[in-house]
Amino acid sequence: MTTRIKFCGLTRIEDVRAAVALGVDAIGFVFARRSRRFVEPGHAAALRDALPPFVSAVALFMDDEPDWIEQVIGAVRPDLLQFHGEETPPFAARFARPYLKAVPMASVGDAAAYARRYADARGFLLDSHASGGAGGSGTVFDWSAVPRLPRPVVLAGGLDAGNVAQAIAQVKPYAVDVSSGIELAPGLKDAAKMRAFVEAVRAADR
C-alpha cells in the first residue's frame, strides 16, 4: 500500500513548491498563534494557491476561537481541518468541514476510546504532544501503543528520514506526518531533508 505523506508547518512558497514537486499528498498550515510555525491567513492563502489538484491543504488549530477558525476557512479554503487541543466533538463538527483529530499519545491511556468519541473525525493524527505541549515537538512516542482504529491513522511525532521506515513497518499507518524532521528551523523546511523523507517512505512501501 502507498503511505500518504503530509508535510506540516510550512511557511514559505519555495518549501511548498518543493513539497509538491516531491509528490506529497497534503500540506499543513498552522494557525495556532502560540506556534513557532504560525502563518497569517492571507499568507497561507497565497501558499495554498500554489497547490495543484489532488494536493490537500490542511488547517491546524489548537483551542482556537470559532471566529478565528471561520476567518481562516474563509481566507484559505482548506480541504481539511486538524484539531490539536481540547476541542470537543461538537465543536470540531460545527464548521461542517472534514477534520482530523490529533490524539495526544503521551497522555491518552486508551486511544481507541478517545477515537470513538470523535465519531465525525475523518481520521486520527497520533502525535506525542510531548511534555503536555502541542504538536511539532519532534518527539517520538511509543509506537507499540497504537491500537487498531476505526478510521485512517496519520502517524506523527518525531518522524524523520532515519526512522520513518521502521514506523511504517511497525504501525502500518494510512499516512505519515512530519514537521521538525524536515526542518532547518521552525517553519523553515530543508529541501534535502524533505527529499530524504519522501524517498524513505517510498522505499518502505516497496
Ligand X SMILES: O=C(O)c1ccccc1NCC(=O)[C@H](O)[C@H](O)COP(=O)(O)O
Angle between helices 13-22 and 41-48 (to 10 degrees): 30
Nearest residue to ligand X by CB is 136
Measured from the CB of residue 147, what is the shortest distance to ligand X in angstroms? 19
Residue 59 main-chain phi, psi, to 5 deg: -105, 120
127 tagged catalytic: yes
Of residues 24, 26, 29, 35, which one binds ligand X by CB under 6 A? 35
Measured from the CB of residue 34, what is the shortest distance to ligand X in angstroms? 7
| DSSP string across 75-94 | HH--SEEEE-SS--HHHHHT
Asked if 135 is part of the footprint of ligand X (rule: CB under 6 A), the reply reads yes
Say whether 170 sits in a helix, a strand or coil.
Answer: helix
The partner residues of 38 in beta bridges, in order of sequence, read 30
The single residue listed with the C-alpha cell 494510512 is 174
Q: Which residues contact 120 (CB under 8 A, 6 or more apart)?
A: 89, 92, 93, 99
> Among the options 15, 64, 127, 177, which is catalytic?
127
Asked if 24 is part of the footprint of ligand X (rule: CB under 6 A), the reply reads no
| Contacting range for ligand X; rule: CB under 6 A; set: 39-47, 51-59, 112-120, 136-144 | 136-144
Instruction: Answer left, alpha or beta for residue 80, where phi above 0 means left and psi between -120 and 50 means alpha.
Output: beta
What is the rounded CA–CA span in Å between residue 185 and residue 99?
Answer: 27
# of chain residues touching ligand X (CB under 6 A): 26
Measured from the CB of residue 156, what is the shortest distance to ligand X in angstroms? 4
Asked if 4 is part of the footprint of ligand X (rule: CB under 6 A), the reply reads no
Asked if 134 is part of the footprint of ligand X (rule: CB under 6 A), the reply reads yes
Asked if 8 is part of the footprint of ligand X (rule: CB under 6 A), the reply reads yes
What is the rounded CA–CA span in Å between residue 149 and residue 113?
Answer: 9
Of residues 62, 69, 81, 168, which one binds ligand X by CB under 6 A? 62
- Choice between 3 and 35, CB closer to ligand X: 35
Interface positions, 66-125, toward ligand X (CB under 6 A): 84
- Choice between 36 and 172, CB closer to ligand X: 36
Alpha helices in the chain (DSSP H): 13-22, 41-48, 66-76, 89-93, 111-117, 164-171, 191-205
Give catalytic residue positions. Answer: 8, 127
Q: Which residues bind ligand X (CB under 6 A)?
A: 8-9, 28, 30, 32, 35-37, 60, 62, 84, 127, 134-138, 156-159, 177-181
